[in-house]
């Protein structure tokens, strides 16, 4: 007999929701019961967990009763509407939206970076933005040896960041354009197939979009360096599922390339991918479906003696969202921080 937990997934029918279901099974998370929650539009669908069919039900206060853990991936407005109700009913909520990330009362966690922050939760824990997670997993081990003074990041973001319907739209766009037909743009404002454009989230008065500011503000909070200099340009590219990032790091003194390479080879959640002779480095196709963030092309910044350049690719749906949330849940279990745990055997 061991501790197992009553888990609910809010937003179960989305791309991240499907990945959460798969990861709970794949990682053998101690689930005594699993409840799949979604909007009225998606209620009634049937999904499978450990070979058993589960019916998706509409989220409601009654549906949130007798739940120990809620993994939420249904958008900020939904999280704001239901997270506090879930906490009031006794659950801990790990939220994948941006609703609570910058709330000083809510821990913002990348388990490879700041796992101890999990002990400070008051019912809600925020999952960072996908691009922030991927960058932080790679930069943090270097920052531990020599604090980073400045980060300049350019992202190459896949359609999956906008959800399952966006991924399907890119496929439809590609087919339409190959047939000399106008491509549909229901999800994206412009065609993404055979194209790219700066991230289309709202711009602030300084000309930075919300996605870019998420990386700036979230990295400062996760690293606990409020004045860390970070500048980001986010671009949507015609890739289905995995984000890539070009990262420039500035330190207070030179950081040897071989030392950086050696550190990243040993870092949790990171896989070094470099074949200089073949000009072979991380690619989104090879990062898709993997837990690790692939990093490579580590080199000296020719413009600055204290600078390093690197390139990474990571699965936006897994480590950029669902896997990071499940890893946070595993921290809660490990540290016995989940309320309402039931003594039973895990569900088969």
Tell me the two tokens of residue 297: 């092309």
The pLDDT of residue 340: 53
The pLDDT of residue 177: 98
Q: Inform me whether the pLDDT recorded for 348 exceeds 80.
A: no
Does the annotation count 120 as an active-site position? no
Question: Which letter does DSSP use for residue 218 in this model?
Answer: H
The pLDDT of residue 75: 87
Q: Inform me whether the pLDDT recorded for 342 exceeds 80.
A: no
Instruction: Give me the residue spans of the domains in the chain.
Output: 2-128+321-344, 131-316
Cβ 34 vs Cβ 67: under 8 Å: no
Q: Inform me whether the pLDDT recorded for 346 exceeds 90.
A: no
Q: What confidence tens digit (pLDDT) does each residue in 327-338 have?
A: 999 999 999 999
Cβ 213 vs Cβ 221: under 8 Å: no
Mean pLDDT of 50-67: 96
The pLDDT of residue 345: 43
Mean pLDDT of 183-192: 97
Mean pLDDT of 241-252: 97
As a CATH number, domain 2-128+321-344 is 3.40.50.720
Specify whether domain 131-316 bears CATH 3.30.360.10: yes
| Candidates 121, 143, 199, 243; catalytic one | 243
Q: Inform me whether the pLDDT recorded for 307 exceeds 90.
A: yes
Question: Which letter does DSSP use for residue 320 in this model?
Answer: I
Cβ 325 vs Cβ 25: under 8 Å: no
Q: Inform me whether the pLDDT recorded for 236 exceeds 80.
A: yes
Q: Inform me whether the pLDDT recorded for 67 exceeds 90.
A: yes
Mean pLDDT over each residue of the chain, to the nearest integer: 95
Confidence of residue 341 (pLDDT cuts 50, 70, 90): very low
Neighbour-count burial of 56, counting CB atoms closer than 10 A to its CB (0-12 exposed, 13-18 middle, 19+ buried): buried
The pLDDT of residue 122: 94
Residue (of 299, 309, 314) closest to 249 by Cα position: 309
Residues paired with 275 in a beta bridge? 280
Strands 69-72, 243-251: pairing kind: unpaired
Cβ 318 vs Cβ 291: under 8 Å: yes
Mean pLDDT of 99-109: 97
| Candidates 120, 121, 130, 199; catalytic one | 130
Q: What's the whole-model pTM score?
A: 0.95
Q: What confidence tens digit (pLDDT) does each residue in 123-169 have?
A: 999 999 999 999 999 999 999 999 999 999 999 999 999 988 999 99
Residues paired with 246 in a beta bridge? 154, 311
Q: Inform me whether the pLDDT recorded for 240 exceeds 50.
A: yes
Mean pLDDT of 65-88: 95
Q: In whole angstroms, give the CA distance from residue 285 to residue 277.
A: 20
Confidence of residue 347 (pLDDT cuts 50, 70, 90): very low
Does the annotation count 234 as an active-site position? no
């Amino acid at each position: 007999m061991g501790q197992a937990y009553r888990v609910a997934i809010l937003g179960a029918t989305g791309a991240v929701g499907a990945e959460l279901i798969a990861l709970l099974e794949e990682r053998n998370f101690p689930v005594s019961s699993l409840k799949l929650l979604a909007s009225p539009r998606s209620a009634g669908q049937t999904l499978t967990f450990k070979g058993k069919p589960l019916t998706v039900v509409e989220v409601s206060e009654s549906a949130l009763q007798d739940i120990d853990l809620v993994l939420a991936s249904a958008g900020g407005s939904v999280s704001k509407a239901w997270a506090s109700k879930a906490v009031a009913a006794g659950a801990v909520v790990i939220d994948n939206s941006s609703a609570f990330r910058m709330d000083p009362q809510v821990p913002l966690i990348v388990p490879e970076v700041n796992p101890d922050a999990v002990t400070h939760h008051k019912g809600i824990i925020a999952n960072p933005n996908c691009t922030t997670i991927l960058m932080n997993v790679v930069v943090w081990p270097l920052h531990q040896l020599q604090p980073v003074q400045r980060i300049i990041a350019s992202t190459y973001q896949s359609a999956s960041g906008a959800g399952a319907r966006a991924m399907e739209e890119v496929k439809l766009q590609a087919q339409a354009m190959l047939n000399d037909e106008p491509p549909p743009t229901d999800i994206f404002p412009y065609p993404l197939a055979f194209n790219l454009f700066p991230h289309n989230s709202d711009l602030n008065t300084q000309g930075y979009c919300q996605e870019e500011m998420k990386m700036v503000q979230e990295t400062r909070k996760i690293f606990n360096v409020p004045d860390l200099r970070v500048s980001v340009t986010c671009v949507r590219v015609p890739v289905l599922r995995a984000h890539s990032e070009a990262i420039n790091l500035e330190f207070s003194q030179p950081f040897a390339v071989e030392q950086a390479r050696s550190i990243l080879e040993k870092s949790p959640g990171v896989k070094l991918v470099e074949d200089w002779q073949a000009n072979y480095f991380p690619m989104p196709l090879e990062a898709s479906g993997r837990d690790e963030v692939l990093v490579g092309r580590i080199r000296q910044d020719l413009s600055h003696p204290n600078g390093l350049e690197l390139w990474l690719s990571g699965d936006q749906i897994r480590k950029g969202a669902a896997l990071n949330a499940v890893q946070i849940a595993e921290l809660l279990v490990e540290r016995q921080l989940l309320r309402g745990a039931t003594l039973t055997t895990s569900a088969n």
